[in-house]
Structure 1
Amino acid sequence: MLVFLLPVILLAGCADNPGASPPAPPSSRAQAQGNGGVTPPASLEALRAKVQGKKLSIASAAFPNPTLTGLYKVLELLKSDFGVESEFRMMDSTPLNAALISGQVQVGHVSLGGLAAAKEAGADLVAVAGNDQKNVFLVAARGGAASLSDLKGKPFAVSQNLTSIVGQTASRCFAGAGLDVTKDVRLLHLANVGQIVESLEAGRIEGGMSATFRQTELELAKPGAYRVLCKGWEANPQLNDVWAVSRSWLGANSDLALALAIAEIKAARWTHQDKAGWVALAQAKIDGLSAQAAERNYATLVTELDDWPVNGALDEKMCAYTLATSREFGVVKRDYSCADLVSFDYQKAALDFLGAR
């Protein structure tokens, strides 16, 4: 999960390393973008022969948390199944933007809403696969509040603005209860969800925006002290993170994009089949994550939310909803369709190869 707090403007280009070919001429680029469809590989070995030894520069503006476990598995599968080395880094959004603009990063793990904003700013990016699918944000309150109406007139915190997915979720949750988050609570803006949760723990606010993995830590520390009053995946079911590339890079690297899409679906299926492996990988990648916390995150993210669907995270209905919501909240001014921002062809080809479940 990344760039949760603010939609960012993400610009991408080809990286100067062995994994990036120069932009393809327009005729071949159009075919690679899925105008004529993407052909599934004859075998895993056949696709590996085309991409083995290449390198991918991949970046995320997220901080380490359990929703990134699927991402880490994708990187493992790119190496084990296809011989593709990934240089992965986490960056703040501003330097990430600069790295994408300069071509130092080829693949961005970005929010779909942020991708739409980048498109409106002139970036020619396209999503070729999804990753963690669900909106994991939620409204949390101290134990005395049984419903959102109990927060009326009380201090409630969101992140820096109401146009991010965090703010949008707050607005949707309160609207669903017949309330207005801008009028019916004492609205506070804090830097990020981490600060919101800290303020909730300290008693400086009565309610605020949290996330599933944050809530897990709260409940382990003080069982029963906090309540979840609204779940983002129900009130604001947006398509969350996607794998985005520049169209020029895609035109020259369609085989790598297909390998990425196949690795994504294989990672999702591994998630559902190997709970112990998921817990171990989450603990290995996230400092301080206890086995108990990892188990609870698995129960929430995998069992309850199905955050990594076995047939791929790109979903047309969720995509359309996300783009409509982005326009409603002013993230973008244009009416974008999914076809403007997402190619479903690589996920479809991966499913043709692996078989749908």
Structure 2
Amino acid sequence: MNRGTAAVVAGTALLSLTLAGCSLNVQNVPLPGGADLGGHPYTVKADFADVLDLVPQASVRVNDVAVGRVTKIGLGADGWSATVTMKVNGKVKLPANAYAHLEQSSLLGEKYIQLSAPTGGKEQPSGTLRDGAVIPVSHTNRNPEVEEVFGALSMLLNGGGIDQLKTISVQLNKALTGNEPEIRSMLGQVDTLVSDLDAHKQDITDALDGVNALSATLAARDQQIGTVLTGLSPGLKVLEEQRGQLVTMLRSLDTLSGVAVDTVNRSKDDMVADLQALAPTLRRLADAGKALPDSLQVLVTYPFTDEVLNGVKGDYLNVYLDLTAVPGTRLIPEMPASGNVYPPDPEQPQAARKSKATTDKKLRDAGIPLPLPSVTGTGTSTGTHTSTGTSTSTGTRTSGGRR
């Protein structure tokens, strides 16, 4: 035995004695080539529904760059989930709402934890991930295992769906064979329908919103609707009782409509002839034009129309009004040219008669017309008439003028 071999044996014996003398947890020994944690790493925990075969000392990565390692794996507080404790380099800054994904480096490679920020802009960062932070289950997931993929593929290949796919393919081939134009037309119509629906999606959304508002209104007034429906029950019952009469009435209306149509059809020629005969009269009325309204205006003012004034010379048209007084009426004669206006009234005091005579004289001298005398008597007038020219009758005649 040379010296090299003796040194190796001695070293092996020394290592065996050391391992036998104290307990050593191999999982706590950092793997060579691991991530550099720096001088001030911080601890982060993540709750997983299933960690598969993840082991301590597994890598923790950000964008596939190793930034830490898994230090501990244990059961969560609920006893069903797994809590993974990680140490991350203190220089790595992650958002407080970061995600933790359990991924695999290759098809048969090791498991590791991938930390990432939320994507899509749906969640805004709310600070940074600090020491002792816990990533909830809602922000963790895992990729499917190779065994799971093979199991699903085995189920599909072993009668799980291949036969059904073959049946579907054969039936589709039979259905499409010889119907290519119809299928092409149907696809074109479907494309048009989808295009129209896409162009009117805002209208469809508004209609759905309107239906939603209507449903909310109906739900808020369900009591009133129930009352209305309850009140309709007696009316519906009456309609049900009178159904026979309603049917008879509708049949009678059908018969009446048939008779009316037949009557119109039979009298159509006569009605057309009457309208044709009426056409000349309407044409003459249309030709009359403005003359017809003017003639109607003269007709309603007969016998003294406005046109009569145009044929009268001068400014006045003499009109005489003859009044026939009732028997027993005292008539006062016309006013004399001079002197007192009226004969003295024996029943009136002398002073009053003189005052009235003086007043009348002043009015006459000033050119002011005197008031008409009052006529006393009982009974009603036998009649009045007007005439032009000179007439003689028993009573008082008043002459006037029309300007």
Q: Same fold, TM exceeding 0.5?
A: no
**TM bin (shorter chain):** under 0.3
| Greater relative contact order (CA < 8 Å, ≥ 6 in sequence) | 1
Is the radius of gyration larger for structure 1 or structure 2? 2
Q: TM-score, normalised by structure 1?
A: 0.15
